[in-house]
Amino acid sequence: MNSVSPSAAQYVGGVMQDELAEHRRQQPLERQGSFGLRAAQTPDPGREATVEPDEMDKLKAKLMSAWNNVKYGWTVKSKTSFNKISPVTVLGHSYLLNSEDEVERFRWAFVSRVWLTYRREFPQLEGSTWTTDCGWGCMLRSGQMLLAQGLLVHLMPRDWAWPDAQQLTEVDFEVFRPRSPARAAGVPIPSFGSPRGSNTPEKSLTSDQAPKCSQRKRLESVRDRQAEPLHRKLLTWFWDQPPAPFGLHQLVEIGNGSGKKAGDWYGPSIVAHILRKAVAKTSVLHNLAVYVAQDCTVYKEDVVHLCDLSLSQTPPDPSSQAWKSVIILVPVRLGGEALNPSYIECVKNILKLDCCIGIIGGKPKHSLYFIGFQDEQLLYLDPHYCQTMVDVSQANFSLESFHCSSPKKMPFNRMDPSCTIGFYAKNKKDFESLCSAVSVALSSSKEKYPIFTFVEGQGQDYGLEGHSSNHSGPAALILPPSNLSRSNNRRNSDEFVFL
């Protein structure tokens, strides 16, 4: 997942072993680490150290930071092509890009997602010399984006869109109609805007010429503008400063409980547990909980005990209807060393659900945040872009770096099988609907065994400590729902093998 990571990390099955060899060739500074720089972990007793270990670590961190800042500090803009005749799905919403209105709707939906990327020049992470997460923090950033989407649907008005999305004006996608014998003349399709810095003025439309979607957005703009203070407040929670409840400093500190530290690679399963701990720890959210599924199983009774506040009352109040909203995270493995094609249709159906808040995983060497698809390609947000830390303590801090105007796609067959799927339910009724809708989506798989399942009852709480980097428990077998066992063995979902 990480192109340049300062410590050893491999996927189960060795899907990252080729990357190891590649970077040993490309980066002479990393010759002594199995996947990065932590070369001074075992000093040679037969050689006198000419530099203090702490100074050596600082020097290496600076060298790595400099390299990663250069590598991820720039990007080549390229257009992503979208098909006019196939719908694009984005987190439960569908867009057929055969008209200006639909392109506009898709544009607003994509740009309004929160985009969290590598940052540099933030305060040093405790217990390390790191002031950037370039090259190693991509999975944490993907997890932040997944949580941010959950918070958007939890706190913001339904179908909220960022009112200032229009200011991101890069030309970064195009719509085309595949060749066919009877190709009809298509409606002219606008891009996301004009190139940033272009001297060509944009044409302004009169009220009669403006797309209907723009007119509709004008009606909603008052509501969305009123929600802007909450939008800004939400982004401050992801600030790269120690006090921020969901910032990198807090997530790394929580990860220390599982033996992880700044510079290590984080898998999608452990990030799910880190997010759960972060939400439980903070005081900024009192009516939201995070549940992490165990062994590809969502235990309904566990969710009820987590969310039903009447159960914690002494004595219980039968009339109480208090219920916490819940984000459900399900770590899964969709195959062995590569994605099992039989699960592709199932993943598509999951991304079509309103209750889905995305998938964190990626492709080998890169963690990505998947938010939709078109045909046989996934739509994603990429954290692999290094930006300077934004001081969100300022009243009118810039929002531009927290929203992406470049939709990108990749084929399903390049998706790494290890991932975590996220869902959101606002109340008990929504949770029951979620269980029903997701179960139907899971049944679309051609495989005998579903990706995961919902069952009644309770499960064993493994917690974050069960995902220690030193843990090497046996691989778990995915069994049919009727044969699910509640083993007391602690197992990492990244080790799951589908029969």
Single-letter residue type at 64: M
Which three-class secondary structure state does DSSP give residue 236?
helix
In angstroms, the CA 423 to CA 325 distance is: 11
List C-alpha distances in Å: 213 to 99, 103, 108, 344.
10, 9, 10, 32
Is there a contact between 402 and 115 (Cβ–Cβ < 8 Å)?
Answer: yes
Between CA 123 and CA 390 the distance in angstroms is 12
The DSSP line for 37-73 is S-GGGS--TTS--SS-HHHHHHHHHHHHHHHHHHHHS
Strand partners, 173: 80
Do 483 and 292 contact (CB within 8 A), yes or no? Answer: no
From the list 249, 273, 366, 384, the catalytic residue is 384
Beta pairing partners, 292: 329
Q: Are 178 and 186 in contact (CB under 8 A)?
A: no
Is residue 231 annotated as part of the catalytic site, yes or no? no
Pinpoint the alpha helices (H) of 354-394.
none
Whole-angstrom distance, CA of residue 295 vs CA of residue 495: 10
Residue 415 token pair = 């998706």
**Distance between CA 366 and CA 382 in Å, rounded?**
9
CB within 8 Å of 280: residues ≥ 6 apart: 289, 290
Residue type, 55: E
Cα–Cα distance measured from residue 93 to residue 159, given in angstroms and rounded to the nearest whole number = 10
CA 498 – CA 334 distance, rounded (Å): 8
Residue that is written with structure tokens 């990480």 in the block: 2
23, 57, 138, 273: the active-site residue:
138
Question: Is the CB of residue 393 less than 8 Å from the CB of residue 185?
Answer: no
Instruction: Identify residue 370 by its one-letter amino acid code.
Output: F
Nearest by Cα to 379 from 181, 123, 92: 92
**Catalytic option among 302, 382, 416, 494:** 382
Active site (annotated) includes residue 295? no
**Cα–Cα distance between 455 and 484 in angstroms, integer?**
9
Rounded to whole angstroms, how far apart are CA atoms 106 and 411? 20
Q: Is 241 left (phi over 0), alpha (psi -120 to 50) or beta?
A: beta
Q: Active site includes 138?
A: yes
On the CB side of 427, CA atoms within 13 Å amount to 3
Give the catalytic positions in this structure. 138, 382, 384
